[in-house]
Amino acid sequence: MACERYSESMTDLAAGDVSPRREREFLLHAGECDVCREAYSHAREVFSALDRSVEKLVAGEPSPYFAARLRGRIAEERVSTSARWNSWALVAAGALATIVLGLILVSRLSLRTNSNPSVTTNAPAPALELERNMTPQNLSRRRQNPTPGRPSRAADTERLSQEVLVPGGQLAAALQLGDAVNGGGMDGEQLLAAQNELTKKLEIKPLEIALLESPNPDAAGNGSTRF
């Protein structure tokens, strides 16, 4: 005759998943009930067999070739790693050389550009107007309140460094001269001749004044003049 009292909880009992009080109760019952005692014994054996089987799942050693194979693969890994490093070193060296060459080229180009300054001929306004606006007050105001959209101060500085500086009051003349030379309105020889003329010393001829001759010598001899 089967005992149903602990049949549902036999697995828990065998696994130890019950309170100590309930386990004591069951053990007292199993001492008198052959069916429950046998079921409990079977369940315990199942767990024991389970544990043995799971242990067997992970038991064993790899084959004798395992170590040699692993050693070979690690050696290959070392070789491939060093080869990879070598190729990366080559790529890095090439990139560095390209950058250095580029920098040299850029610096040479900028040197060439700086050595050929030119007079700015594209004046945005008539020369006199421009000169009138270039007063010290206007310049300082511009520095403090730069116009939006205008090139930055650094750009201004760079642009100015490439221009010819003209003494104050002579900008209009310099611009006109530049226009005349570039437009072909003035000949170089003519300009040189004018410059030579300016450097020549002025010759001052003595003023010759002819003596006045009196028409009546007697009148002059009287010494009396009437006004």
Partner 1 sequence: MDALSASLAGSGVSVDDSLEREFEQRLADCPTLAYRVALGVLHNTAEAEDVAQEAMLRAYRNFNRLRDRERFRGWLVRTAWRLALDRIRAAGRRARREYAAIEGTWEVGAENTAAFREFEGHVARAVDELPEKQRVVIVLAAIEGYNTREVASLLDIPEGTVKSRLFLARKQLAKSLKWLVKDIPNR
We find the least distance from the C-beta atom of residue 69 to partner 1, in angstroms, to be 6
Q: Name the CA dihedral angle for 58, 60, 65, 68, rounded to a multiple of 10 degrees.
A: 70
Does the footprint of partner 1 cover residue 127 (CB under 8 A)?
no
Residues 63-122 that bind partner 1 (CB under 8 A): 63-64, 66-71, 73-75, 77-78, 82
CA–CA gap between residue 192 and residue 198 (Å, rounded):
10
* Binding residue (CB under 8 A) for partner 1 from 45, 158, 163, 187: 45
We find the least distance from the C-beta atom of residue 154 to partner 1, in angstroms, to be 45
| Dihedral over Cα of 189, 193, 194, 196: its sign | positive
* Binding residue (CB under 8 A) for partner 1 from 11, 113, 133, 161: 11
We find the least distance from the C-beta atom of residue 155 to partner 1, in angstroms, to be 48
Residues 6+ apart with CB under 8 A from 146: 152, 153
Q: Which stretch binds partner 1 (CB under 8 A): 52-60, 104-112, 158-166, 185-193?
A: 52-60
The number of residues making up the chain comes to: 227
Residues 6+ apart with CB under 8 A from 124: 130
Q: Tell me the HSE value of 88 on the side-chain side, using a 13 A CA sphere.
A: 6
Q: Which stretch binds partner 1 (CB under 8 A): 27-35, 50-58, 91-99, 138-146?
A: 50-58
Helical ranges in the chain per DSSP H: 10-15, 20-30, 34-57, 65-114, 127-133, 136-144, 153-161, 171-182, 188-199, 217-222
We find the least distance from the C-beta atom of residue 57 to partner 1, in angstroms, to be 5
* Binding residue (CB under 8 A) for partner 1 from 5, 9, 17, 24: 17
Q: Which is nearer to partner 1, 43 or 130 (CB)?
A: 43
| # residues near partner 1 by CB under 8 A | 40
Does the footprint of partner 1 cover residue 54 (CB under 8 A)?
yes
We find the least distance from the C-beta atom of residue 150 to partner 1, in angstroms, to be 53
Q: Which is nearer to partner 1, 16 or 168 (CB)?
A: 16
How far out from the chain centre does Cα 185 lie?
48
Place of tokens 């080229």: 105
Does the footprint of partner 1 cover residue 21 (CB under 8 A)?
no
| Dihedral over Cα of 87, 92, 98, 101: its sign | negative
Q: Which residues lie near partner 1 (CB under 8 A)?
A: 11-12, 14-17, 39, 42-43, 45-47, 49-64, 66-71, 73-75, 77-78, 82
